[in-house]
A and B are shown apart, each in its own frame.
Chain A
Amino acid sequence: MKALRGYLLTGPAFALFAGLLILPLGLTLVLSFNVFDYNTGVDADAYTLDHYAEVFGDSYFYEVFFRTLWISALTTLLCVLIGVPEAYILSRMKAPWRSVFLILILTPLLISVVVRAFGWSLLLGADGLVNQAIQALGGNPVKLLYTPFAVVIALVHVMLPFMVIPVWTSLQRLDPLAEQAALSLGASQATVMRKVVLPQILPGVLSGSLIVFGLAASSFAIPGLLGGRRLKMVATLIYDQYLAELNWPLGATVAVLLLVLNLVVMLTWNRIIERRYKKALG
């Protein structure tokens, strides 16, 4: 009786979850197996593995998937390298400044990604501010826009808060006296960071990097606006399949594969870290 009531109480949340997540995902999965014909469109009653065969057989898809993977991985790495020290400095700041800087770090979240991507394209374009500066200093203009460089730099900018926040949260739980203890035992400041601080904030770094990787790998607006027509990432590829080619089943197939790839990478990453630090992190 009691158990039943418990299930009933979770009902609304479950309905929301099912309606907004499980159902669309299920439909996408089904769609990826539907037969497609350029003249007649999607045939909802016929099933085929052709789309999967097409993706696995075409090196173009491999190229896009590989690019997505390394861009996301590089973005994650850069976010760790910038975000962890940033969060550490933030956590050591004194009262008024800490909140001021925390808000500064979070405000970009309030501005649409599209707007920020346009901002970057203004900066990095052929006559953008950066190239103007280079020319003013007597250099030759460099192609920045529509390169992986532009995509990565904009992704890092957008994703940084998602790294800073979880790391900052785990830094809050740190005992600053443990650092003093390490210093008194003869450790240098660098050793304190490496042996005392980092291992303890690893769970925060782990969740931050999972969020950043997941969001980067499925990011759409930034590669769409800063990668241009030629530098495709998986999400922009899916968009093309749906809206340019109108080949919905193929788009669905790529989407399903992106989901699977994302899950595999994230679970493996999680597993590796957990195995190494499981006992210590409890």
Chain B
Amino acid sequence: MAFLSLEGLTKRYADVAAVADTNLTIEKGEFVSLLGPSGCGKTTTLQMIAGFVDVTEGRIVLDGRDVTHAKPSSRGLGVVFQSYALFPHMTVADNVAFGLLMRKVAKSERDERVRKALSLVRLDAHAERYPRELSGGQRQRVALARALVITPPVLLLDEPLSNLDANLREEMQYEIRRIQREVGITTLMVTHDQSEALSISDRVVVMEAGRITQIDAPYRLYEHPRTRFISDFVGKANLVGGRAGSAGQQEVCKVGEGDFQLSLRPEKIRLTEVGQGLLDGEIRTRFFLGSQWLYRVETPLGELTVVRPNEGSLPLEDGTRVGLVWSTELLRPLEEDVRA
């Protein structure tokens, strides 16, 4: 039995559907990410689950209970907002204690649970500080502790890491995953950062223009993107055309010329001597990414992106002619994009 399920969930503002006919089921203890470009309806979906936005159509069922029209305060979900939304006039401890105070938990138990929650997010030492005396990452962890301390059935995170710099973000991704595993809490996280979604979730839900277009485990999503949009949005992708060849074999061609489209991940292409690959090309530019080199190679199929690991030797110069090779089963057929 699904723990949280959205059934045909729809939200319309005037005539525009911000979220249209969304179906999703989440199992107990699962970590699911909602991934999509800006304005695709991620926040709206999350807010409907939290109860801050009225549902136009459809149902939300939480642990067997229909909560579609329940008040936010009666759903008891833990919500972490993009801007943290801490109470600036309360200390860290008071912020975390707020939900317990609302539940009339006795003082001694309250203190104990606040202490535990703060040590879970490693902020024991800062209990008496005010939010403005904390760094961004620390505030984020207070928000997390505040949501977790009420032991909610579901944790909702709205782009919790988007305000942090790259290093801190990575550290916090790890933290969130650690805490989620430790507590075993069912979690739905909104993000527009594909690497974040891939690295910490059990399943990723891709949303486009108010609709879900793919739900898969991170590895499957990356390896088998369903549409052209997803192949571009999740990781980098080369797009080539495909058509049925003479011997029943599939043939590649330029994008516009084929009967269907194929996606080829840049790291799946290897470089060899001229004439020894499936086709030849000339290196236009290269970019150094630290652990990898990214080449843009001009070929008869158009410009292809190739990523090679940095193995300590000097990279190929611009203008070098190379052969390109890949195994054909790594070409992934794509469906037409869904357009709203």
Contact = CB atoms under 8 A, between A and B. Distances in A.
A187 B73 contact: yes
Given A191-B102, A279-B130, A280-B130, A184 B89 contact: no
Interface string B165-185: 000000000000000000000
A183 to B, nearest CB: 4
A180 B83 contact: no
A74 interface: no
Contact of B87 (A182, A184, A279): A182
Measured as residues with beta carbon below 8 angstroms from the partner, the interface class of chain B is 20 to 34
Interface stretch (B15-23, B74-82, B277-285): B74-82
Measured as residues with beta carbon below 8 angstroms from the partner, the interface class of chain A is 20 to 34
A186 B85 contact: no
Contacts of B98: 182, 185, 187, 195
Contacts, number: 72
B76 A280 contact: no
Interface in B60-115: 71-73, 75-79, 81-83, 85-90, 98-99, 102-103
Contacts of A183: 51-52, 71-73
B103 A186 contact: yes
Given A183-B72, A183-B73, A185-B98, A200 B81 contact: no
Nearest to B158: A177
Contacts of A272: none
Contact of B83 (A177, A182, A281): A177
B89 A277 contact: yes
A185 B155 CA distance: 12
B132 interface: yes
B73 A200 contact: no
B111 to A, nearest CB: 17
Nearest to A202: B89
A200 B89 contact: yes
A280 B73 contact: no
Interface string A57-83: 000000000000000000000000000
Interface in A188-213: 188, 191, 195-196, 199-200
Nearest to B133: A282
B177 to A, nearest CB: 22
Of A175, A200, A277, which is in contact with the most chain B CB atoms at under 10 Å from its CB?
Answer: A175
11 contacts: A177-B82, A181-B79, A181-B81, A181-B86, A182-B98, A183-B73, A184-B75, A184-B77, A184-B147, A186-B103, A196-B87
Given A178-B88, A184-B50, A185-B102, 7 more contacts: A181-B79, A184-B75, A184-B78, A185-B150, A186-B103, A200-B87, A280-B90
